[in-house]
Chains A and B, each alone.
Chain A
Amino acid sequence: MSDTVLSVRDLTVVVHGDGPPEAIVDGVSFDLKRGEILGLVGESGSGKSVTSRALIRLLPGARLGIAGGSAVLGGRDILALDENSVRAVRGGEIGMIFQNPSSHLDPVMTIGRQIAESIRFHRSVSRGEARRQAIDILRQVGIPDPERRYDAYPHEFSGGMRQRAMIAVALACDPDVLIADEPTTALDVTVQAQILKLLMDLRDTRGVSIIFITHDLGVVSQICDRVAVMYGGRIVEVGDKRDIIGNGRHPYTAGLVACQPAEGHPGERVRTIAGQPPRVGQMPPGCRFHPRCPKADAVCMQTRPPLEASGTAHLVACHHPVLNAQEVAS
């Protein structure tokens, strides 16, 4: 269980604009263990999606570029591979599922053929064998009557079934790592529960490691083993989910948990974090959270806090970490 599948070190993605390049993913490091579900949590613009796209070398937009760092998967640094080798990694060792399955499935190709295409791209098997494997994987993701559904088009599937189909495409070549970028955000809450259960079952049966990107802390605490909290392109806190949810030591993590609408009583005002998340082009110096932080002082405005250990396997990047949950409340 404890061996590391993917090891990311100092991953930096910059955006080239009018001024000097600005890091929107700034020195991100984490390890993903075999069979682990790691939650990547943050608000819009925190760099969580860009981090995941950098790992499959599909950065959205020509102005974005990887400026440094490494990501070692199976003894190779993905970030240093040439384009041909990266294509073998995408869909091979790393599978990816997205928020909106309709825009990531080919609308004019049957579901089954999209899975079989991926299998035949990565492995030399016959058409018949690819079809057999594709039907098998459709059954594993819980699509009823897979032999008949193999020939169905995406529009004939409901939203939840389409998400299952995309999971099937991603898992077709038995990847070591599955990157799930907000896979349940567009789904209804009852269907979300089904997909979360499916992902956990697949982790248990196939031993795949999952990077689960979301902004929903409820989802995180239900399915993740460890959680990394991102803010302004940096990981501000990472640890076991029990260390993060409710016992977070970074003021941002603590604030994020406190401002869940479920925390508190009806009619009571919701706790908020004042201000806005930083925008590209206007990243503050020092700790990027300092303009919104209640504990910020002169040091926070100038010096970037390093990600330091705060207990076993719990890292925090803060000059003035929160002591405990009571301190936030007062």
Chain B
Amino acid sequence: MSVKASPLLEVTALNVHFGGTSLIPAFAGPTLRAVNGVSLTVMPGETLGLVGESGSGKSTLGRAILRIGDLTSGEILFDGTDMARATVGDLARLRRQTAMIFQDPYGALNPRMRVGEAIAEVLRVHRKVPRDKIGARVAELLNLVGLDEGYARSRPVDLSGGQCQRVGIARALAVEPKLIVADECVAALDVSIQGQIINLLMDLRERIGMAIIFIAHDLAIVRRLCDRVAVMYLGRIVEIGPTEQVFTDPSHPYTASLLRAIPDIDPDKGLPANPLTGEPPSPLALPCGCAFHPRCPKALPQCSTGEPPSLEGVGPHRAACILPPGEITI
């Protein structure tokens, strides 16, 4: 990193809650706290991995940052503007500078639209290029994601999953974004195709320099691609730091058990000896204290009471756990 550059994105105390309100207060159901006091920063050109199990709020967080999903409270500073309280003009600017890549490559494309039209639509809506240059720009974008420009005439149904995902990426790049949120963008693809898309993202990051928030549950891919990683559990970031530090020296017992649970490809390693018991509790009824304490192998009596621990630590590697760092091993 060079001299202290200002962050592209600065999220502070972001909350996304669902339900819990009703016209008649007595009928209000319990509140689902999908994202709970999350703070993070993303520097220009940086790739931040967001990992966690299903229901941990990582997709909700990604959507709230792009203002595709609603948020309850908090601050989202994008390029100096608070997008949590954005005006119509601010939102339009956000849409022109950010993009999202989705998990289901077929579902993200209109099946009745040819690939070229789908990309041209983005260019037209955001008035990116003059009308007569649209065709040339579509061909350029297709080449950028490794597709022949002849694919502009294809419909999604004629393409494979990997090719569809490339079209999804081309649509995201059409706005020339400063920030892309990629939500499980390789989870639906075959292993041999996953690598092609990961490499494409690496190439594009070098050539275009956009920042990426990479949401995934596959830790091996995150380790390969991301500069920093944030681990989420039940709506909170429990650990954040430079990827290699988090993966080799985790400071939260949840991160450690997540790393332990990945089946190793080495046939002689065997299954993890003591897998984590139980499943994440419902976010409708979060446990008191640290939300991980019912499953934590090292929980202390004080873990189950009071406020959940906040992210502590010196430097860029921080974790929300009261255990001393030496206690946690993979």
Between A and B, 6 residue pairs with Cβ closer than 8 Å are A43-B191, A188-B54, A189-B219, A189-B261, A215-B191, A255-B192
**Which A residues are CB-close (under 8 A) to B220?**
260-262
Interface pair A189/B258, CB less than 8 Å apart: yes
Q: Which of B160, B161, B202, B275 has the most CB of A within 10 A?
A: B275
Q: Quick one: given A260-B265, A261-B221, are A190 and B53 in contact (CB under 8 Å)?
A: yes
What residues on A are CB-neighbors of B199 within 8 Å? 269-270, 272
B192→A222 contact, CB < 8 A? no
Interface-side segment among B11-19, B96-104, B130-138, B266-274: B266-274
Tell whether A218 pairs with B262 under 8 Å between CB atoms, given A158-B279, A267-B224, A272-B195: yes
For the complex formed, measure the closest distance between the CB of A216 and the CB atoms of chain B, giving whole angstroms: 7
Q: Any chain A CB within 8 A of the CB of B252?
A: no
Evaluate contact between A190 and B275: CB separation under 8 angstroms.
yes
Check if A222 sits within 8 Å of B194, measured CB to CB.
no
State whether B279 touches A189 (Cβ < 8 A): no
From A160, A241, A245, A269, B202 is in contact (CB under 8 Å) with A269
> Could you tell me which residues of chain A, from 242 to 285, have a CB within 8 Å of some CB in chain B?
242, 245-246, 255-257, 259-264, 266-273, 276-277, 279
B 239-264 to A, binary, CB cutoff 8 A, 1 in contact else 0: 00001100000000000011001111
Check A14 for interface membership: any CB of B closer than 8 A: no
Residue interface mask A157-190, B partner, CB < 8 A = 1: 0111100000000000000000000000000111
Interface extent on B, as a size class?
A: 35 or more
Known contacts A188-B53, A188-B54, A191-B279: does B267 contact A245 (CB below 8 Å)?
yes
Q: A190-B258, A241-B267 are in contact. Are A197 and B275 (CB under 8 A)?
A: yes
A242 near B267: Cβ-Cβ < 8 Å: yes
Contact A222 B264 (CB under 8 A): yes
Residues in B neighbouring A221, C-beta threshold 8 A: 263-267, 269
Nearest residue (CB) in B for A269 is: B199
Residue of A nearest to B267 (CB): A221
Give residues of chain B (29-86) contacting chain A, Cβ–Cβ below 8 Å: 53-54
Top-3 shortest CB links A-B:
A270-B195, A218-B263, A193-B275
CA distance A259 to B223 in the complex (A): 14
**Which residues of chain A come closer than 8 Å to B264, judged between CB atoms?**
218, 221-222
Query: How many Å lie between the Cα of A197 and that of B224 in the bound state?
Result: 28
Q: Is the Cβ of B192 less than 8 Å from the Cβ of A257?
A: no
Which of A190, A215, A262 lies in contact with B261, CB distance below 8 A? A190
Interface presence of A196 (CB below 8 A): yes
Known: A262-B220, A279-B160. A272 touches B192 (CB 8 A): yes
Binary interface encoding of chain B residues 19-35 relative to chain A, with 1 for a CB under 8 A from any of its CBs, else 0: 00000000000000000
- Tell me, in angstroms, the Cα distance from A87 to B272 when the chains sit together: 38
Judge whether A245 and B265 touch: CB under 8 Å.
yes
**A216 adjacent to B192 (CB under 8 Å):** no
Chain B residues, CB < 8 A from A263: 265
Our pick among B53, B190, B243 for the contact of A266 (Cβ within 8 Å) is B243
Find chain B residues with CB under 8 A from A159 CB: 54, 279
Question: Among residues 168 to 212 in chain B, which have CB atoms less than 8 Å away from a CB atom of chain A?
Answer: 190-196, 198-199, 202
Q: Is the interface on chain A under 10, 10 to 19, 20 to 34, or 35 or more residues?
A: 35 or more
Q: Is the CB of A222 within 8 A of B195?
A: no
B103: min CB distance to chain A, Å: 13
Q: Given A190-B276, A276-B160, answer yes or no on A270-B267 (Cβ-Cβ < 8 Å).
A: no
Interchain Cβ contacts within 8 Å, total number: 132
In the complex, A301 has a CB within 8 A of chain B: no
For residue B243, which residues in chain A have a CB less than 8 angstroms away from its CB? 266
Within 8 A of A (CB), among B266-301: 266-267, 269-272, 275-277, 279-280
Q: Which residues of B contact A262 (CB under 8 A)?
A: 220, 223, 262, 265
Which residues of chain A are within 8 angstroms of B53 by Cβ–Cβ distance? 188-191
* Residue in chain A with minimal CB distance to B244: A266
Name the distance in Å between A52's Cβ and chain B's nearest Cβ: 18
- Please indicate the chain B residues that have their CB under 8 angstroms from the CB of A196 in the complex: 263, 271
Known: A221-B267, A245-B265, A246-B265. 18 other contacts (CB 8 A): A43-B192, A44-B161, A188-B279, A189-B53, A189-B258, A190-B258, A194-B275, A194-B277, A215-B190, A219-B263, A221-B263, A221-B264, A222-B264, A222-B270, A261-B195, A269-B199, A270-B224, A272-B192
Q: How far is the CA of A24 from the CA of B70 in the complex (A)?
A: 46
- Separation of A255 and B190 alpha carbons in the complex (Å): 13
B190: A residues at CB distance < 8 A: 43-44, 215, 277
Q: Closest Cβ of chain B: how far from A209's Cβ, in Å? A: 19
Task: Determine which residue in A189, A191, A266 has the highest number of CB atoms from chain B within 10 A of its CB, and name it.
Answer: A189
Q: Which A residues are in CB contact (< 8 Å) with B193?
A: 43, 272, 276
Interface centre among B244, B257, B258, B271 (most CB of A within 10 A): B271
Flag if A277 contacts B261 (CB, 8 Å): no
B163 cross-chain contacts in A, Cβ below 8 A: 276
Look across to chain B and name the residue whose beta carbon is closest to the beta carbon of A42: B190
Q: Shortest CB–CB separation between residue B21 and chain A, in angstroms?
A: 25
Residues in chain B near residue A190, CB distance under 8 A: 53, 257-258, 261, 275-276, 279
Is A200 on the interface with B (CB-CB < 8 A)? Answer: yes
Q: Quick one: which of A241, A267, A270 has the most chain B CB within 10 A? A: A270
Question: B269 is contacted by which of A161, A222, A256, A261 (Cβ under 8 Å)?
Answer: A222
Q: What distance in Å separates the Cβ of A256 from its nearest Cβ neighbour in chain B?
A: 6
Which residue of A192, A260, A262, A273 has the most chain B CB atoms within 10 A of its CB atom?
Answer: A262
Q: What residues of B have a CB within 8 angstroms of the CB of A256 in the complex?
A: 191-192
Nearest Cβ distance between residue B167 and chain A, in whole angstroms? Answer: 14
* Alpha-carbon distance A194/B262, docked complex (angstroms): 12
Asked if B218 is at the interface of the complex by the 8 Å CB criterion, the answer is: yes
Q: How far is the CB of A316 from chain B (nearest CB, A)?
A: 18
On chain B, the residues within 8 Å of A161 by CB distance are 279
